[in-house]
């Protein structure tokens, strides 16, 4: 699969997984990446997600398999992993206030 097709596929898969963007969608995302606890608002979910370092491709794959994605202890290790595996999420597809924005880290 070419890079453009992979990029398009990951965007579609994540959007399908995430849903409409309700509070319940945000809370599910937090649970799926291993954030537990009471998160009563989208803002609280977004803040919690800023502390999690995961690869979005791995998140989508992990959810399909019913497991949690690999979490990296810091941004540097996530960057090294992302570059070595070439599992990039297309920056031009990031919505300003969406969940991908909360998960994105500057790689290059």
Task: Give residue-wise pLDDT tens across range 19-72.
Answer: 999 999 999 999 999 999 899 999 999 999 999 999 999 999 999 999 999 999
Going by pLDDT thresholds of 50, 70 and 90, the confidence category of residue 108 is low
Per the rule left: phi > 0, alpha: psi between -120 and 50, beta: everything else, 21 is left
% of the chain surpassing 70 pLDDT: 95
Q: pTM of the prediction?
A: 0.87
The CB density around residue 27, as the number of other CB atoms within 10 Å, is: 19
The Cα 59–Cα 29 span in angstroms is 9
Q: Determine whether 98 is exposed, middle or buried from the number of CB atoms within 10 Å of its CB (0-12, 13-18, 19+).
A: middle
Going by pLDDT thresholds of 50, 70 and 90, the confidence category of residue 104 is confident
């Amino acid at each position: 699969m070419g890079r453009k097709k992979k990029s398009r596929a990951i965007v579609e898969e994540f959007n399908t997984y995430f849903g409409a963007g309700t509070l319940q969608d945000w809370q599910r995302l937090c649970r799926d990446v291993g954030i537990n606890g009471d998160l009563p608002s989208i803002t609280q979910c977004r803040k919690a997600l800023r502390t999690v370092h995961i690869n979005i491709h791995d998140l989508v794959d992990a959810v399909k398999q019913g497991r949690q994605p690999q979490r990296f202890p810091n941004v540097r290790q996530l960057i090294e992993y992302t570059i070595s595996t070439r599992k990039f999420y297309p920056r031009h597809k990031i919505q300003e206030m969406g969940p991908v924005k909360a998960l994105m880290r500057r790689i290059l």
